[in-house]
Amino acid sequence: MTRRSLTAACTVSAVLWASAASAEIAPADVVWEDEIAIPASLSGAPGDPDAGRIALSSRSVGNCLSCHVNSDMPEHDFHGDVAPPLDGTGARWSEAELRGIVANAKRAFPGSMMPVFYNDNPADYIRPGNAYTGRAYDPETFSTLLSAQEIEDIVAYLVTLTEW
Amino acid sequence: MKTITKLWASAAICGAMLTGMAQADPHPTAELIIEGELHLATRAEPPEHLGGALPEIYSGWLFRTDETRELQMDDFDNPGILFTERGLDRWEMADGATEQSCADCHGDVESMAGVRAVMPKVNEDGELWALQNYINNCRTERMEADAWGWRSEPMKDMTSLISLQSRGMPVAVHMDGDHAPFWEQGREMYYTRFGQLELSCANCHEDNWGRMIRADHLSQGMSNGFPTYRLKNASIVPLHQRFLGCIRDTRGETFAEGSPEFIALELYVASRGLGLPIEGVSVRQ
């Protein structure tokens, strides 16, 4: 992370702190551009690529490696191959497009196997469960698969993947 | 337009990766021969109703490691056989208020040959029943004994024993007549994208068999090997327990083991394997 983005992150989180996180955009309020892209930060703050790297590979957070190979992460065993490699994705897509893909890939790729990571409306799903318990969802706790900030962090990491 | 071009770009690397990477499964040449004698086909022509969705159908055995495959080739090494041996003791054991055993009415267990191959099957009342339902019906109605739970040890023992009597016989479930509405219900479920991850059985087992989902090699999700001895569980895993796990992994609300929904799904999944033989008790990791 550069000093510039660090400073920006600190400034923004300070502002966020002051305004009690009101800058976060709820899933239903996301503004889309060209159907597939989201220009504005979902959390209102910039993403942290180092945190994004961890969130992407962590099984309990993004678990993106269950479907994607990512050559930038040889330290992780068992990358899945049901999806295209993430190598070079930062060169193929703009930041706004990557945010759109991570939030709801079914807009860019209709019918995609890739889950929608930013939707907290249980009515959009068939038999949504309570995480991985196999039981019915709990309306009190049902939430997006990734938080707004986790998506920002992952997007900040994805834009660095320009080699392929 | 832009999206399309970029998709082509990723499709191109995807293709390069797939051809470049060793596609270890399904094993191209392995043959399943039990005890050096009984040859079980693990590849077959797909049934017509699949309409070309699968080029060939494969037993899940072909997708497993060398070590796991070998365990199934020798009844001494196959831990599932122990369950069938306990099942044989139960077959001959009197139980319930009538103090009868299965053998008292059915005779030798070999009389059960072919029964597993047609399950699940519509009963006299027009309901679709799995093997477990038929067993429990004899226990409660004919023996006046308690029903066995789907995951109970005696049920695992007995279904393993009865399945073994059909080992090598082709899957022979019915899809038409009385069975048609159940088959349709199961088919519908197979293509439904359940849970918060919105994944259908077909997403994994029809569109992506042969690929890896993290550390798992995806098979075609065939049921001819069930009940299966799973090394991971160190026990027999009934088919509905497998279904339950597969739906739970979609962050979905599952159906109950033994539910009408799962029995309908069982019929449809079995029909995708028409052409493969019953493996009796298979071994999977």
pLDDT digits 0-9 by tens, B205-229: 999 999 999 889 999 999 999 999 9
In this complex, do A113 and B196 lie within 8 Å of one another by their Cβ atoms? Answer: no
Model ipTM value: 0.88
Domain residues for the domain of A137 are 24-158
Which of A69, A108, A125 is opposite residue B195, by nearest beta carbon?
Answer: A125
What is the number of other CB atoms lying within 10 angstroms of the CB of residue B214? 16
Residues 6+ apart with CB under 8 A from B259: none
| Strand B128-129 versus strand B212-213 pairing type | unpaired
| Stretch(es) of chain B classified as CATH 1.10.760.10 | 39-77+173-284, 80-164
Asked if B117 and B170 touch (Cβ cutoff 8 Å), the reply is: yes
Rounded distance, CA B278 to CA A40, Å?
Answer: 56
Q: Quick one: pLDDT at residue B36? A: 94
Dump pLDDT digits (tens) for B162-189.
Answer: 999 999 999 999 999 999 999 999 999 9
Tell me, yes or no, whether A5 lies in a domain: no
The two tokens of residue B119 are: 């399950």
Which of A78, A127, A137 is opposite residue B194, by nearest beta carbon?
Answer: A127
Tell me, yes or no, whether A15 lies in a domain: no
In this complex, do A132 and B248 lie within 8 Å of one another by their Cβ atoms? Answer: yes
In the predicted structure, residue B17 carries a pLDDT above the cut 50: no
Burial of A25 (0-12, 13-18, 19+ CB in 10 A): middle
Tell me, yes or no, whether A45 lies in a domain: yes
Tell me, yes or no, whether A19 lies in a domain: no
Nearest to A69 by CA among A164, A151, A148: A164
Provide CATH code, domain B39-77+173-284. 1.10.760.10
Residues 6+ apart with CB under 8 A from B131: B115, B116, B119, B120, B159, B162, B163
Q: Quick one: pLDDT at residue B16? A: 37
Q: Work out how many domains chain A is built from and give that number.
A: 1
The pLDDT of B193-199, averaged and rounded, is 98
Provide CATH code, domain B80-164. 1.10.760.10
User: Does any CB of chain B come closer than 8 Å to the CB of residue A141?
Assistant: no
Chain A contacts in chain B segment 204-223 (CB below 8 A): 204, 207-208, 211-215, 218
CA A156 centroid distance within chain: 10
Q: Nearest CA of chain A to the CA of B144: how many Å?
A: 34
User: Does any CB of chain B come closer than 8 Å to the CB of residue A73?
Assistant: no
Tell me, yes or no, whether A35 lies in a domain: yes
Tell me, yes or no, whether A55 lies in a domain: yes
Q: How many CB pairs under 8 A join A and B?
A: 104
Rounded distance, CA A163 to CA A152, Å?
Answer: 21
Tell me, yes or no, whether A3 lies in a domain: no
What is the number of other CB atoms lying within 10 angstroms of the CB of residue A59? 11
Rounded distance, CA A115 to CA A118, Å?
Answer: 9
User: Does any CB of chain A come closer than 8 Å to the CB of residue B104?
Assistant: no
Nearest to B50 by CA among B182, B187, B186: B187
In the predicted structure, residue B116 carries a pLDDT above the cut 60: yes
Dump pLDDT digits (tens) for B52-107.
Answer: 999 999 999 999 999 999 999 999 999 999 999 999 999 999 999 999 999 999 99
Asked if A118 and A104 touch (Cβ cutoff 8 Å), the reply is: yes
Substitution target from B13, B198, B217, B259 for chain A, most A beta carbons within 10 A: B198
Asked if A126 and B192 touch (Cβ cutoff 8 Å), the reply is: yes
Substitution target from A81, A124, A130, A143 for chain B, most B beta carbons within 10 A: A81
CATH number of the structural domain spanning residue A151: 1.10.760.10
Percent of chain B with pLDDT strictly greater than 90? 90
